[in-house]
Every structure is written in structure tokens, then in C-alpha cells.
């Protein structure tokens, strides 16, 4: 008797063919998950059958697990059993390592901890249901930031654990932290070790929710990273066993469960099962096994033919010729303003995690500015932005009297005489752009979001920012622009096209929201509907943040997302306020505020 276990995951489909007679694996296969999940499952199953030299009709039963298990049907197989991820994981691990008591599975975007008793019964489990930190997506993002492959990162720096440390758990914030460590001169091996340690701390915390005990077994794609296994041992103080073919463990468990069902079906008078045929598994959650008769299915929507891409890499090393996430850079110079007559020439430099801006003022008036993408060095980005701004005005650096730096890279602006906080700079910059009546500022940047309330004099009364999650920031918007192959500066307008009820994106985590978007595309929603759903989710997220400071008119929005009408209009609708219309590029608010502080400093010196 031969059965198939299928793990239809978010990134890949794994198949294991299982021989019940001699309890051994006949073949394994793995293919990327396409927009048509069933097509990917068919491809993986076909490859596994070809390797085992059998036909699909020779399979006694098929069991499916994973996020896409409900999307798989087989007209030529008698029945399909749907198995919960926890149940299949436990079955697969206990067949390989019967002494396992705690299982940590870290997949592409999901992670789970499972606790077993001495009878291999599931006693408890926990999942990362709100954040993708510690998953394969986290590892991929960190590898991109280090300009390494995931495999290279996994083999790098195990001897450097405890040398450097990371504090961020959010995938997006951690990417910024890695870039900051590169700017500070930390060696790549030490950064790789810090990444592994951060992931291990997150995984261990999840494991402690079910009580860690040996034998501790690691499964999932992240288990292929030697540096992570070493970090997990250091964090937990327990020996870590890595399952054989860790990415196929759940598929193996599904195949074993399929075999136990097929055996039971062939012996209808048997009232009890042999424990050797099926592990004694109890689910701590909802019903773990559902058997469904196969039904005819209409031809699935071929989203790939519409130009969609799946899991295209994102970030600063994007390999695509025309990456959609890149917004247009810009410069400005006022030719009517003669800087040669100015007594005060000052500059403000805002080195952000995603973009950098330089603003030059002549006697308090706006002379020039530049808005560019931040590269791998804060110092280089600061100088590049200033050079772009100066070139338009015909200035040289020695003619600028005073420079103030701000942003997350403000400590790495070598030519700045002073630094200032982002909150103070954005407050001053917003009042310059929008006028002195501004009381509430929402700054939506690349990787952070700040809500600031000012008093009647323009002094900061209160502020809050998203310090743990990057939902509602420009980085999340870049992910969606790239996923849907839509230029980022068109996202807002396209999101306003759909009419009527919209699908919902409930996840706050950028990685999980991307997964939800893929699910909507697979259900047949078009790009504009998915973009509308995401913009609506972003708007709701930041409205929750801004209400924490108390919204007062006049209300304004700064940062890159202020240019996105799809988000701003939804924020206005939810708040019941209309934001003031900007007169300048909203991304220069921080640098403009820094330049205004530089101008004040020179005025005081003159007095």
C-alpha cells in the first residue's frame, strides 16, 4: 500500500510517497507554490510518482496539510484527507525521532511549537499568528540586507554568537537595524550571528509557551541553517536535533496518516488501530482531521498569465530590470533666489532607513532640495543627497555655513555640526510646509510612522510611533507594489478605482498581509481590489496610532505615503477630517526642519 502526503505551503509544495508495508519513504519532491495551488500540487505529486516509478492511480490515499490544503482535489483518487499542520508535524517527527518531546518548526512565514508526551500525543502547541519574526521570511530579508544568499547566511558566523546583538523582532525593522550595523562597520559574520541569535530568542520564547523539554527537534526550512541551530542551542541550553529532510516532515506525517486511514478503511470490522500504524495524536485545537470526497472543480483562474509574480525578491538588491517599488527621486532649485547675497546658507540632512533628503535654505528661504534613495552607507547617502541639492543651485560644500543632521542615520553625517531628533525636525518642517495653524502631524515614512501633536506655539506636546511593527509604512507599500507589479507611485490612484464592498486584509504584519493578498488573488480578485484592501488596512492602522495623541485640526500628513491618495483619503474618511494640501514635497519635512534649526543656530550666533 502506497500513500501520498502533501504539504501545500505558502512558498512551496512538498510531497512524500510512503510505503505502509515496509514503513519507508519511496520518494520526495518540492516545487514552488504557484498562484494556482492545485497546479503546483499536481506538479509536485507527478515528480514524486515519477521518481518512485509509480502512477498516481496506484496511490491508496492522499492526505493534504499546510495552508493550501483546502485547495487540492484529485478526481482520480478515491478520497483526500485534510490534516492539520500540528497533527501532520507531530506524526512526521515521531516517525523519525520517537523520543521527541518538543518540536519547533520554522517555515517560510509560519512558525509553531508543539509539545508531545511520552505516548507521542500532542499536549499543547503555539504559533506565530501575529508576526513573521523568526520565520524563513525573516531570514530571507536579513540575507538581502547583507547581500548574501540564505544558504551563505546559514553557514556564516557561528563562532560570533554573542558578539553583536539585535533588538528588532519585526522583519522590516530588523532589516533597518542590519543596515545600520553595516553602516557602523560591524563585520558580516558578526551580523549573521546576531540575526541567528535574534531568531533563536524568538523561537525559544514561542517554545517556552508550551514548556521546552528534550529531545528538542527542529524542523522546517530554517532548520537547514547550521548557524540557527547553534544559536538555538546557546539560547535554550538544550541539545537541538535537526530532523532528516526538515522541510518534508509535515508531508511525511500526512503520508503516514493517509496510510493509517487506508488500512482502517480496508478493515471495517477492526475497532482499534495498531499504534505502529498511526501515531497517537491528539489535537489541542480544532478538529485536526477532515475527510472530504473529491468533487469536480472548475478550471482555476490562471493568475500567472495576467502578469502576476510570486515571491519576487524585494529590497535594495532587487534583481529586476525595472523594480516597481522604486519611487521617483527628485530635486528642486529656486532660480529666483540669489544665494550670493544671503548671509546665512544652511543645510538640513535627513538620512532615513529608506530615503535621504537634503534641504538648503538661504536666509530662511527654501533654495534647493534633493530626495534620493538611501544606499548602504549613511555617510555616503548624506553626502549624495547634499551634492544633488547643491549641484542644482551651483553651490559647493564649503559655502554652506551650518549643517544639522536628523533621521535614523543622523550620527553618521560627518559634515554636520549638530544633530536633532526626528520629532523636533518634522514638527518644524510641517509648519513651514503647511503653515502655523498645524496642530496634528502624521508622518508616514519608509519604515516608521509617527503621530505628533503641537500646541499653539508649535511646540511638541505629545508623540507616539510604531516601534515594534512596520505595518502602515512605506516599506509595506513597496512589498505590495512589487508583488502586484504596479509602480509604487500609481498604487494610490489604482486603489481608488474599485467600487462596492472590498475584501479585507486583517493581518498587521507586512509578511502575513502579503500572504493574505496572494490568497485574494487566487480567489479571483483583481489588482486594484487587492490594492484597495491593503490601502484601507494601512489607513486603519495609522488612524489607531494617531488617535493615541488626540487629533486636532489643522491636520497634516508628511512622508512618502502622503503622496498616496488612496491611503490619505481613507485616513481622512475615518478621522472625519480633511488634511491640508501640501505646497512642497512631503518627504523633505524632516530635512527642512533640520535646516530651520540650523538657521536658528546661525541667527543666535549673530546676535
pLDDT tens-digit map of 105-127: 988 778 899 999 999 999 999 98
Q: Are 524 and 493 contacting, i.e. CB atoms less than 8 angstroms apart?
A: no
Taking CB atoms within 8 Å and a gap of at least 24, the contacts of 19-27 are 20/60, 20/259, 20/262, 20/263, 20/277, 23/95, 25/252, 26/2, 26/51, 26/52, 26/54, 27/51, 27/52
Among residues 161, 174, 165, 149, the alpha carbon closest in space to that of 224 is found at: 149
Residue 497 has pLDDT above 70, yes or no: yes
Q: Are 205 and 133 contacting, i.e. CB atoms less than 8 angstroms apart?
A: no
Q: Residue 391: its pLDDT value, please?
A: 92
More confident residue, 316 or 547: 547
89 exposed, middle or buried (CB, 10 Å; 0-12, 13-18, 19+)?
A: buried
Judged by DSSP in three states, 11 sits in: coil
Judged by DSSP in three states, 532 sits in: helix
Q: What average pLDDT score do residues 561-571 get?
A: 93
How would residue 101 be classed by pLDDT, with cut points 50, 70 and 90? very high
Among residues 323, 328, 327, 326, the alpha carbon closest in space to that of 313 is found at: 323
Show the cell assigned to 449.
Answer: 510612522
Q: Residue 65: its pLDDT value, please?
A: 94
Q: Are 256 and 91 contacting, i.e. CB atoms less than 8 angstroms apart?
A: yes
How far is residue 403 from each of residues 339, 417, 506, 508, 545, measured CA to CA in Å? 16, 6, 43, 38, 32
Dihedral pair phi/psi, residue 232, rounded to 5°: -65, -40
Residue 335 has pLDDT above 60, yes or no: yes
- For the chain, the farthest-separated pair of C-alpha atoms sits apart, in whole angstroms, at 101
Q: Residue 163: its pLDDT value, please?
A: 66
* CB neighbour list of residue 129: distance below 8 Å, 6 or more residues apart: none
Tell me whether the omega of the peptide bond preceding residue 554 falls within 30 degrees of 0, making it cis: yes
Of 66-75, 303-312, 560-569, least confident by mean pLDDT is 303-312
How far is residue 588 from each of residues 6, 55, 270, 557, measured CA to CA in Å? 51, 63, 75, 12
Residue 166 has pLDDT above 60, yes or no: yes
- Return the residue matching grid coordinates 556564516: 156
437 forms beta bridges with none
Q: How would you classify residue 244: left for phi > 0, otherwise alpha for psi between -120 and 50, otherwise beta?
A: beta
How would residue 279 be classed by pLDDT, with cut points 50, 70 and 90? very low
Alpha-carbon distance of 10 to 508, in angstroms, equals 18
Q: Residue 467: its pLDDT value, please?
A: 60
Alpha-carbon distance of 69 to 80, in angstroms, equals 10
Q: Tell me: domain 98-242, CATH 3.90.1150.10, correct?
A: no
How would residue 353 be classed by pLDDT, with cut points 50, 70 and 90? confident
Residue 36 has pLDDT above 90, yes or no: no
How far is residue 525 from each of residues 301, 427, 478, 498, 535, measured CA to CA in Å? 10, 40, 20, 11, 15
Q: Are 354 and 449 contacting, i.e. CB atoms less than 8 angstroms apart?
A: no
More confident residue, 397 or 73: 397
Q: What average pLDDT score do residues 371-380 get?
A: 80
Could you tell me where the beta strands, DSSP code E, fall in 251-344?
289-292, 330-333
Residue 472 has pLDDT above 80, yes or no: no
Q: What average pLDDT score do residues 315-331 get?
A: 54
Q: What average pLDDT score do residues 521-527 get?
A: 85
User: Looking at the domain that runs over 1-82+248-300, which CATH code has it been given?
Assistant: 3.30.420.40
Percent residues over pLDDT 70 in the chain: 83
Q: Residue 567: its pLDDT value, please?
A: 94
Residue 330 has pLDDT above 90, yes or no: no
Answer yes or no: same fold for 1-82+248-300 and 334-420+589-606.
yes
Q: Are 177 and 168 contacting, i.e. CB atoms less than 8 angstroms apart?
A: yes
Q: What average pLDDT score do residues 236-241 get?
A: 95
Q: How would you classify residue 458: left for phi > 0, otherwise alpha for psi between -120 and 50, otherwise beta?
A: left
Q: Residue 273: its pLDDT value, please?
A: 42
Q: Residue 11: its pLDDT value, please?
A: 82
326 exposed, middle or buried (CB, 10 Å; 0-12, 13-18, 19+)?
A: middle
Which runs of consecutive H residues, i.e. helices, occur in 61-212?
A: 85-96, 136-146, 150-154, 171-183, 188-208
Q: Which helix (H) or strand (E) holds 455?
A: none
Q: How many CA atoms lie within 13 A of 261 on its CB side?
A: 26
Among residues 28, 4, 32, the alpha carbon closest in space to that of 245 is found at: 28
Q: What average pLDDT score do residues 289-294 get?
A: 36
The domain segmentation of the chain, as residue ranges, is 1-82+248-300, 98-242, 334-420+589-606, 441-579
Neighbours of 229 (CB within 10 A): 21
Give the β-pairing of 102-106 and 12-19: unpaired
Show the cell assigned to 366.
Answer: 527654501
Topology annotation, domain 441-579: Nucleotidyltransferase; domain 5 (3.30.420)
Dihedral pair phi/psi, residue 145, rounded to 5°: -65, -35
Cα angle 475, 302, 42; round to 5 = 105
Show the cell assigned to 403.
Answer: 549643517
Neighbours of 226 (CB within 10 A): 14
Q: Are 536 and 570 contacting, i.e. CB atoms less than 8 angstroms apart?
A: yes
- Return the residue matching grid coordinates 498587521: 508
Residue 198 has pLDDT above 90, yes or no: no
What mean pLDDT, rounded, does the chain reach?
83
Sign of CA dihedral 479, 481, 484, 485: negative
DSSP 181-225: HHHTT--HHHHHHHHHHHHHHHHHHHHHTS---SSEEEESGGGG-
Looking at residue 339, what DSSP letter applies?
Answer: G
Q: Residue 152: its pLDDT value, please?
A: 86
Q: Which CATH class is domain 334-420+589-606?
A: alpha beta
Q: Are 592 and 359 contacting, i.e. CB atoms less than 8 angstroms apart?
A: yes
Neighbours of 77 (CB within 10 A): 16
Alpha-carbon distance of 145 to 355, in angstroms, equals 15
Q: Which helix (H) or strand (E) holds 116?
A: strand 111-116
Q: What average pLDDT score do residues 354-376 get?
A: 91
Amino acid at each position: 500500500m502506497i500513500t501520498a502526503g502533501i504539504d501545500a505551503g505558502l512558498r512551496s509544495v512538498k510531497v512524500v510517497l510512503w510505503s505502509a508495508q515496509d514503513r519507508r519513504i519511496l520518494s520526495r519532491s518540492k516545487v514552488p507554490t504557484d498562484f494556482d495551488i492545485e497546479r503546483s500540487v499536481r506538479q509536485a505529486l507527478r515528480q514524486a510518482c515519477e521518481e518512485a516509478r509509480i502512477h498516481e492511480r496506484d496511490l491508496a490515499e492522499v492526505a493534504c496539510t499546510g495552508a493550501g490544503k483546502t485547495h487540492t482535489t484529485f478526481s482520480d483518487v478515491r478520497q483526500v484527507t485534510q490534516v492539520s499542520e500540528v497533527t501532520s508535524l507531530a506524526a512526521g517527527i515521531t516517525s523519525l525521532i520517537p523520543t521527541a518531546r518538543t518540536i519547533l518548526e520554522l517555515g517560510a512565514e509560519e512558525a509553531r511549537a508543539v509539545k508531545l508526551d511520552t505516548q507521542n500525543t500532542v499536549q499543547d502547541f503555539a504559533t506565530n499568528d501575529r508576526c513573521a519574526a523568526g520565520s524563513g521570511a525573516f531570514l530571507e530579508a536579513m540575507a538581502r540586507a547583507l547581500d548574501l544568499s540564505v544558504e551563505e547566511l546559514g553557514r556564516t558566523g557561528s563562532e560570533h554568537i554573542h558578539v553583536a546583538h539585535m533588538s528588532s523582532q519585526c522583519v522590516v525593522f530588523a532589516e533597518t537595524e542590519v543596515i545600520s550595523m553595516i553602516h557602523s562597520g560591524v563585520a558580516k559574520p558578526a551580523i549573521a550571528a546576531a540575526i541567528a541569535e535574534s531568531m533563536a530568542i524568538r523561537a525559544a520564547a514561542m517554545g517556552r509557551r508550551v514548556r521546552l523539554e528534550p529531545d528538542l527537534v527542529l524542523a522546517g526550512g530554517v532548520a537547514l541553517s547550521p548557524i540557527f541551530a547553534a544559536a538555538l542551542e546557546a539560547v535554550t541550553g538544550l541539545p537541538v536535533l535537526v530532523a532528516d529532510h526538515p522541510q518534508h516532515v509535515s508531508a511525511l506525517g500526512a503520508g503516514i496518516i493517509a496510510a493509517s486511514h487506508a488500512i482502517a478503511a480496508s478493515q471495517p470490522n477492526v475497532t482499534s488501530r495498531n499504534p505502529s500504524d498511526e501515531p497517537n495524536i491528539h489535537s489541542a485545537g480544532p478538529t485536526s482531521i477532515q475527510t472530504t470526497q473529491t468533487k469536480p472543480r472548475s478550471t482555476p483562474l490562471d493568475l500567472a498569465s495576467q502578469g502576476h509574480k510570486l515571491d519576487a525578491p524585494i529590497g535594495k538588491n532587487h534583481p529586476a530590470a525595472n523594480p516597481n517599488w522604486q519611487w521617483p527621486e527628485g530635486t528642486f532649485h529656486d532660480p529666483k533666489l540669489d544665494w550670493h547675497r544671503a548671509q546665512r546658507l544652511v543645510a538640513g540632512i535627513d538620512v532615513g532607513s529608506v530615503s535621504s533628503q537634503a534641504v538648503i535654505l538661504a536666509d530662511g528661504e527654501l533654495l534647493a532640495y534633493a530626495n534620493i534613495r538611501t544606499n548602504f552607507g549613511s555617510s555616503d547617502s548624506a553626502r549624495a543627497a547634499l551634492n544633488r541639492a547643491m549641484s542644482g543651485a551651483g553651490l559647493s560644500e564649503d559655502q554652506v555655513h551650518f549643517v544639522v543632521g536628523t533621521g535614523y542615520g543622523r550620527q553618521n553625517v560627518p559634515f554636520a555640526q549638530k544633530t536633532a531628533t526626528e520629532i523636533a525636525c518634522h514638527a518644524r518642517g510641517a509648519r513651514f510646509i503647511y503653515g502655523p495653524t498645524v496642530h496634528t502631524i502624521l508622518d508616514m515614512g519608509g519604515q516608521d510612522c509617527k503621530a505628533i501633536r503641537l500646541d499653539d506655539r508649535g511646540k511638541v506636546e505629545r508623540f507616539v510611533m510604531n516601534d515594534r511593527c512596520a505595518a502602515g509604512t512605506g516599506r509595506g507599500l513597496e512589498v505590495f507594489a512589487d508583488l502586484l507589479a504596479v509602480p509604487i507611485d500609481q498604487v494610490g490612484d489604482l486603489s481608488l478605482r474599485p467600487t462596492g464592498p472590498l475584501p479585507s486584509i486583517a493581518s498587521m504584519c507586512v509578511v502575513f498581509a502579503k500572504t493574505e493578498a496572494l490568497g485574494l488573488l487566487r480567489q479571483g480578485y483583481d489588482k486594484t481590489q487587492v490594492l484597495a484592501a491593503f490601502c484601507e488596512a494601512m489607513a486603519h492602522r495609522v488612524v489607531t496610532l494617531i488617535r493615541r495623541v488626540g487629533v486636532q485640526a489643522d491636520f497634516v500628513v508628511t512622508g512618502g505615503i502622503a503622496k498616496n491618495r488612496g491611503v490619505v483619503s481613507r485616513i481622512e474618511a475615518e478621522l472625519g477630517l480633511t488634511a491640508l494640501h501640501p505646497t512642497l514635497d512631503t518627504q523633505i519635512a524632516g530635512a527642512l526642519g533640520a535646516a530651520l534649526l540650523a538657521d536658528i543656530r546661525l541667527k543666535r550666533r549673530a546676535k
